[in-house]
Amino acid sequence: MGEYIGLDVSMKDTAISVRRDGKRVWRGKCASDPEAIAQMVRKHAQEPERVIFETGPLSVWFFHALQAEGLPAICVDARHAKAALDMAANKTDANDADGLAHLAEVGFYREVRVNGFGSMLTRTLVAARTKLVRIKTEISNQIRGLMKTFGLAVPAGKGSTFDANVCAKLSESSDLAGIILPLLEAWRSVRMRAAELTRRLIGDARQSEACQLLMSIPGVGVVTATAFATAVEDPANFRTSRSVGSWLGLTTRRYQSGQVDYNGHISRRGDHQVRNLLYEAACVILTRSSAESTLRDWGLKLRERVGFKRAAVAVARKLSVVMHAMLKSGELFDKTAGAPA
């Protein structure tokens, strides 16, 4: 009979618990480094069967590093594990590690698929580019607001047009220019870095067959296609295309107890970045896209009955089903196909 190991991971230290034959045989702590943890596990467990830890900021690194050390690493859903760990009388790192080791032994856990380093690198690129774009927008709005206080309304415009308009207005007030120009210089720098990441993102999407496939859908651009493709990775990770919507938190939650049975709001679980991008794509399909498709027609009819926001969420869910089916079949978007279930 082998050993079952639970790891309660934090940024500095990791609590370790080892169980064998239904009993705890050792527990302790070491630095949160996969190599140090692997050495400690080998020292106290001769035949490790499962090494489990919860999802968190270090889970991708730990999963791949521990597997590279030859350990059977398993990442489990933190929400699912919390329900079992809350049974302990005292909340400590050691007790959490004991609880995780117990879950590993009895098999009462929900394993989470961990993305590869290549996919995570692309997802990091998308997240960094999105953050820079938001910062650029915040700085430009701040500049407009500060100048408006002194009666200097900057005309509408983006990019170099915005830069020229701000400089022209500041020529009317030298005192204010000394305050605004540092902000404008920061805006220029952020804009330049965001453009660099955008060019890199577009270049990677052109080399990706999956992204080119998904971008054949009206309303789906480079960012949405890249984020979805890297989140799904392999279409075989999902048994059916319908399950992608629930995985992204786009399906309604249900509560049933006795005579009570109702559906609530969407669960909003899973990858919030991809979910937001799909919602934005759905809004584009319903409002700005002029390309006719069965999906758009269905969404417009639904908007008349339930309102715009609910219709956009429904289109986003069905869009995720369509995108997964396209990755699975390798076929371009068919605008005449029936609306997916």
Q: What CATH code is carried by the domain that includes residue 75?
A: 3.30.420.40
Q: Given this model, what pLDDT does residue 110 score?
A: 87
Instruction: Kindly state whether residues 226 and 324 are assigned to the same domain.
Output: yes
Tell me the backbone φ, ψ of residue 19, rounded to 5 degrees. Answer: -120, 145
Q: Given this model, what pLDDT does residue 291 score?
A: 85
pTM beyond 0.85, yes or no: yes
Instruction: Kindly state whether residues 229 and 322 are assigned to the same domain.
Output: yes
Q: How many domains does the chain have?
A: 3
Q: Given this model, what pLDDT does residue 5 score?
A: 96
Question: Among all chains, which residue has been given the structure tokens 């009462």?
Answer: 108
46 exposure class (CB count in 10 Å sphere: 0-12, 13-18, 19+): exposed
> How many C-beta neighbours within 10 Å does residue 133 have?
17
- Last residue of some domain: 140, 175, 207? 207
Q: Given this model, what pLDDT does residue 328 score?
A: 94
Q: Given this model, what pLDDT does residue 338 score?
A: 56
Q: Given this model, what pLDDT does residue 257 score?
A: 82
Q: From residue 267, how far is each of 25, 189, 250, 254, 313 by CA, in Å?
A: 40, 38, 7, 9, 12
* End-to-end Cα separation, the chain, in angstroms: 47
Is the four-CA dihedral 192, 193, 199, 205 of positive or negative sign? Answer: negative
C-alpha 275/C-alpha 323 separation (Å) is 13
Q: Does 340 reside within a domain?
A: no
State which residues of the chain have pLDDT below 70: 1, 338-341
Q: Given this model, what pLDDT does residue 137 score?
A: 96
> How many C-beta neighbours within 10 Å does residue 106 have?
11
- Last residue of some domain: 87, 106, 125? 106
Residues near 107 by Cβ (< 8 Å), separated by ≥ 6? Answer: none
Q: Does 274 reside within a domain?
A: yes
User: Which range marks the domain in which residue 93 is found?
Assistant: 3-106
Both tokens of residue 274?
């991809």
Q: Does 334 reside within a domain?
A: no
Q: Does 337 reside within a domain?
A: no
Instruction: Kindly state whether residues 280 and 201 are assigned to the same domain.
Output: no
Q: Where are the alpha helices (DSSP H) in the chain?
A: 34-44, 59-68, 78-85, 93-106, 117-149, 160-170, 174-207, 209-214, 222-232, 242-247, 272-287, 294-306, 308-329
Q: Given this model, what pLDDT does residue 319 score?
A: 95
Question: Among all chains, which residue has been given the structure tokens 């609306």?
Answer: 339
C-alpha 228/C-alpha 130 separation (Å) is 15
Both tokens of residue 4?
């079952």
C-alpha 312/C-alpha 284 separation (Å) is 9
Instruction: Kindly state whether residues 180 and 100 are assigned to the same domain.
Output: no
Q: Does 319 reside within a domain?
A: yes
Both tokens of residue 218?
């009206």
Instruction: Kindly state whether residues 162 and 243 are assigned to the same domain.
Output: no
Instruction: Kindly state whether residues 12 and 101 are assigned to the same domain.
Output: yes
Q: Does 339 reside within a domain?
A: no
Q: Given this model, what pLDDT does residue 1 score?
A: 66
Instruction: Kindly state whether residues 138 and 99 are assigned to the same domain.
Output: no
- Last residue of some domain: 176, 191, 207? 207
Instruction: Kindly state whether residues 179 and 239 are assigned to the same domain.
Output: no
Q: What is the separation of C-alpha 52 from the centre of its chain, rounded to a whole number of angstroms?
A: 22
Q: Does 335 reside within a domain?
A: no
DSSP line for 294-330: HHHHHHHHHHHHH-HHHHHHHHHHHHHHHHHHHHHHT
Instruction: Kindly state whether residues 144 and 175 are assigned to the same domain.
Output: yes
Q: Does 341 reside within a domain?
A: no
